[in-house]
């Protein structure tokens, strides 16, 4: 099968002249941890609403995701989020881009549900009244309203991941990056999280091994050994990846 | 269940009492108990705390007993120690005093959200600002401790089970190694999550953080 490859995406340099202000742009990005190079010369413009990232273990997907909100700053090259350089405007980038990790336990930092959701709003100095209102609204949206005062560690795995997502979305980021949000979940909860992602108005980038999650996505990247080796519509890209792995 | 996750969602008079007042009363009670070391005083205090817990905080007797369970051996040991070294009355005083404080602290935690307690602690620590300490950091550290103790206890239990399932008869301390590895991984991701959720944002002028 021919490798799916979108020309426009492969040539961001042409596009930089008319660089969309509402896009994520990677310009010749490489990243090394010590001696080890985990991303090599990645150049991309991501302007789609929903972008998926797949690839084998250790291929560099999480590193790629972390670049998008400045958790990792590239060793060389630049990452621009809506025109902001992650190296220079770190705080502004972090405020624009929410990040959901695989393990909800590591992201929940307060003992009870409502307090944890309020955490990011505290950091943003949102006044108490507005804070309470936004927390209540988000808890209701994710079916956690009845658990507001419950200890977070008594929630089920699926509820914990919804709590972690609520804690990020309550901050109203302009974009959200997910790194394997469904890996630890059962089928019912995977579907729930998939629906949450589907309903988001924000642009999202989702790293996943859960290929079903990518149905309806606008674009999928395949990462292999630190390079983007395929890039296109989910149907062709996912099929190409699956064929390659079997 | 974990004694640290005690918050009782049943509303009560004490839930509506400001956390600062409850903490001040708790402090006053401990000063009283140690300043006036007399059995009748301690007994009355214990009775008062129990009444307050059941009627004021609407806790069940079971919830109260659960609070004493972890310190139960301690209290028994203390009584025996005093009975041998000093006398039974002193032992009784020491035990009643400690039990009173444990229950009083339980009443405070059962009726105050961690956020409220943390806010009081931050307020008390506010003068430390002059020394360059950020009170909000102290508050966050306390909240995170309360959050992670049950989690780490649970992970430790899971490791112990996994080792037992494979017939491990190894000494207990060897299961500390995988636990340590897990805790370090957890800490790494948590540090990233704190960054991603804006924990290190300096207090910017209000207009700056509003998106728009
Ligand atoms: N902080 C770090 N320090 C050193 N090496 C790292 C670090 N983070 C990741 N690596 C290494 O970089 C490589 C790419 O890691 P990355 O986490 O980006 O892969 P991944 O595609 O997300 O894999 P997985 O599917 O297993 O999550 C791996 O070989 C990993 O061991
Ligand atoms: Mg990964």
CATH number of the domain that A97 lies in? 3.40.50.300
Of the candidates B144, B194, B211, the beta carbon closest to that of A172 is on B211
pLDDT one-digit tens code per residue, B148-166: 888 888 888 888 888 877 7
The residue whose CB lies within 8 Å of the most ligand 1 atoms, and thus the one to mutate among A58, A67, A211, A221, is A58
Tell me which of A29, A31, A63, A209 to substitute to probe ligand 1's pocket, judged by most ligand atoms within 8 Å of the beta carbon.
A63
Q: How far apart are CA A108 and CA A204, in angstroms?
A: 21
Does an H or E element contain B43, and which? helix B39-51
- How far apart, in whole angstroms, are the C-alpha atoms of residue A205 and residue A95? 16
Cβ atoms < 10 Å from Cβ of A81? 24
CA angle A174, A176, A178 (to 5 degrees): 175
DSSP state of B17: S
Ligand 1 atom 9: residue of nearest CA:
A63
User: What pLDDT does residue A19 have?
Assistant: 53
Nearest CA to ligand 1 atom 26: A57
- Residue A92 Cα, ligand 2 centroid: separation in angstroms? 24
**pLDDT band at residue A18, thresholds of 50, 70 and 90?**
low
Is residue A1 included in any domain, yes or no?
no
Closest CA to A235 of A52, A30, A38, A14: A52
Q: Which domain holds residue A136?
A: 8-245
Residue of B nearest to A167 (CA): B197
- Total residue count of chain B as it appears in this document: 212
Side-chain-facing half-sphere of B168: CA atoms under 13 Å? 14
- Closest Cα in chain B, distance from residue A52 (Å): 20
**Who's near B187: CB < 8 A, 6+ residues apart?**
none
Distance, in angstroms, between B69 CA and closest chain A CA?
20
Angle, helices B114-125/B135-165, rounded to nearest 10 degrees = 130
Higher pLDDT: A13 or A220? It is A220
Q: What is the rounded CA–CA span in Å between residue A110 and residue A122?
A: 12
Instruction: Establish if A2 belongs to a structural domain.
Output: no
Contacts of B5 (CB under 8 A, 6+ apart): A111, A112, A151, A153, A154, B146, B150
Mean per-residue pLDDT, A22-42: 94
Strand order, beta sheet including A84-85: A36-46, A24-33, A76-81, A84-85
Q: Which residues pair with A98 in a beta bridge?
A: A176
Contact B4 A119 (CB under 8 A): no
Contact B153, B2 (CB under 8 A): yes
How many domains, in total, are found in chain A?
1
Report percent pLDDT > 90 for chain B: 36
* pLDDT tens-place string over residues A91-107: 999 999 999 999 999 99
**ipTM higher than 0.85?**
no
Q: How many CA atoms lie within 13 A of A227 on its CB side?
A: 5
Give rounded-to-5 percent helix, strand, coil for chain B: 80, 0, 20
């Amino acid at each position: 099968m021919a490798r799916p490859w979108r020309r426009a995406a492969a040539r961001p340099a042409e596009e930089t002249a008319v660089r969309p202000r509402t896009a994520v742009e990677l310009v010749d990005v490489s990243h090394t941890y010590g001696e080890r190079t985990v991303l090599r010369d990645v150049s991309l413009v991501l302007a789609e609403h929903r972008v998926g990232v797949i690839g084998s273990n250790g291929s560099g997907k999480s590193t790629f995701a972390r670049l998008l909100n400045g958790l990792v700053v590239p060793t060389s090259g630049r990452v621009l989020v809506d025109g902001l350089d992650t190296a220079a405007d770190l705080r502004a980038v972090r405020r624009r881009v929410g990040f959901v990790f695989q393990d909800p336990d590591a992201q929940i930092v307060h003992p009870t549900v409502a307090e944890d959701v309020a955490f990011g709003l505290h950091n943003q100095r949102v006044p108490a009244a507005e804070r309470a209102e936004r927390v209540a609204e988000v808890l209701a949206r994710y079916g956690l309203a009845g658990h507001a005062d419950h200890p977070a560690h008594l929630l089920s795995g699926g509820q914990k991941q919804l709590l972690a997502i609520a804690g990020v979305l309550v901050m109203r980021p302009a974009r959200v990056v997910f790194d394997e949000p469904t890996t630890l979940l059962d089928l019912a909860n995977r579907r729930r999280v998939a629906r949450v992602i589907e309903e988001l108005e924000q642009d999202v980038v989702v790293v996943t091994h859960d290929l079903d999650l990518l149905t309806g996505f606008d674009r999928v990247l395949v990462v292999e050994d630190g390079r983007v080796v395929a890039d296109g519509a989910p149907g062709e890209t996912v099929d190409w990846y699956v064929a390659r792995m079997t | 269940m974990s004694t640290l996750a005690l918050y009782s969602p049943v509303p009560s008079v004490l839930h509506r009492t400001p956390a600062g007042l409850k903490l001040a009363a708790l402090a006053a009670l401990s000063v009283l108990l140690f300043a006036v070391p007399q059995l009748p005083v301690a007994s009355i205090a214990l009775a008062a705390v129990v009444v307050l817990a059941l009627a004021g905080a609407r806790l069940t007797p079971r919830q109260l007993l659960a609070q004493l369970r972890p310190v139960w051996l301690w209290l028994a040991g203390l009584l025996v120690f005093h009975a041998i070294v000093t006398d039974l009355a002193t032992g009784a005083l020491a035990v009643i005093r400690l039990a009173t404080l444990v229950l009083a602290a339980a009443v405070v935690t059962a009726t105050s959200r961690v956020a409220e307690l943390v806010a009081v602690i931050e307020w008390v620590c506010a003068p430390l600002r002059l020394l360059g300490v950020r009170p909000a950091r102290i508050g966050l550290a306390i909240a995170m401790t309360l959050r992670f103790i049950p989690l780490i206890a649970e992970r430790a239990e899971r490791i112990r089970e996994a080792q037992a399932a494979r017939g491990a008869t190894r000494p207990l301390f060897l299961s500390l190694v995988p636990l340590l590895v897990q805790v370090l991984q957890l800490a790494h991701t948590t540090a990233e999550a704190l960054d991603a959720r804006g924990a290190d944002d300096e207090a910017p002028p209000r207009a700056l953080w509003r998106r728009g």
